[in-house]
Structure 1
């Protein structure tokens, strides 16, 4: 079963690996990222961040559908991590039964074409468009670095976030 779908521009790091996998008792982490799949050094580095009892698997965006659908029905507790909002949109199209997306960190350079939701999440116009589509589907978008933090819900109907 898929326990959490997360957007994090750093993908997997110690904070995520320890807190989220413990909180959800995760068995497997799926990292869906086209670049990482073919980068052995990055895969080795990411493997160092995961807990010993958790399996880490890498998938290209175009080749993740079967693994994701299998994860929905088997007993393994799975965390899915993507690097950006475009990828989370594609993954959600495969997994429309997921009703909540966790946003860990998404640090774009703050400038006139971005909206800073907090110090960890800075959205570009194209990200805001995808977030609005997800929100219109009834998906909860929550910003939290670790499970113990209070979630910050993204609500783009607020004029503060409009562009």
Structure 2
């Protein structure tokens, strides 16, 4: 079962490894990223960062979209990780099994502004997140699993 789609440009890091995966009892993590899937060094790095008892899949975005419904049918909890809001939007437009989207860490960049600590978004990111919500999928803004979650409405 898919538990969450998390947007975090760092993908696999301590918060995911120890916080999110533990809290959600995750047994599988799918990284949907063309950049990581196409780079053996990056794939190795995320493999080393994953929790020991968790299965990891790294797929290009389109392959991930094809595999998400199958993962949703598994009897263990799975988290989907993407780097970009646009990737999350494409996934929810093509997969009807995403229960909610969590907007997590997103670094400062040209054209982005902070909305919550280290979470930076562009105007287009906010529009895309609003589209996700209009599709009936809850969007939460939350850096760490131990932090309170915020509704997207607070930032639009």
Common fold by TM > 0.5: yes
- Contact persistence 1:18–1:50 (CA under 8 A): no
Displacement over 4 Å in runs of 4+? none
Residue 137 (structure 2) aligned to one of 131, 136, 139 = 139
- CA RMSD across the alignment: 1.7
TM-score normalised by the chain length of structure 2: 0.91
SS in structure 2 of the partner of residue 75 of structure 1:
coil
1:66 corresponds in structure 2 to: 66
Larger radius of gyration: 1
Q: Distance in 2 between matches of 1:119 and 1:38?
A: 31
- Contact persistence 2:119–2:143 (CA under 8 A): no
TM-score normalised by the chain length of structure 1: 0.87
- Contact persistence 1:28–1:79 (CA under 8 A): yes
Q: Structure 2: 5+ residue runs without aligned partners?
A: none
Q: Distance in 1 between matches of 2:98 and 2:117?
A: 26
Q: Deviations over 1:62-119 (max 9, x none)?
A: 212331010111212111000001100011112234242111111233x6x4332112
2:18 corresponds in structure 1 to: 18
- 1:117 correspondence with 2:115: yes
Q: Structure 1: 5+ residue runs without aligned partners?
A: none
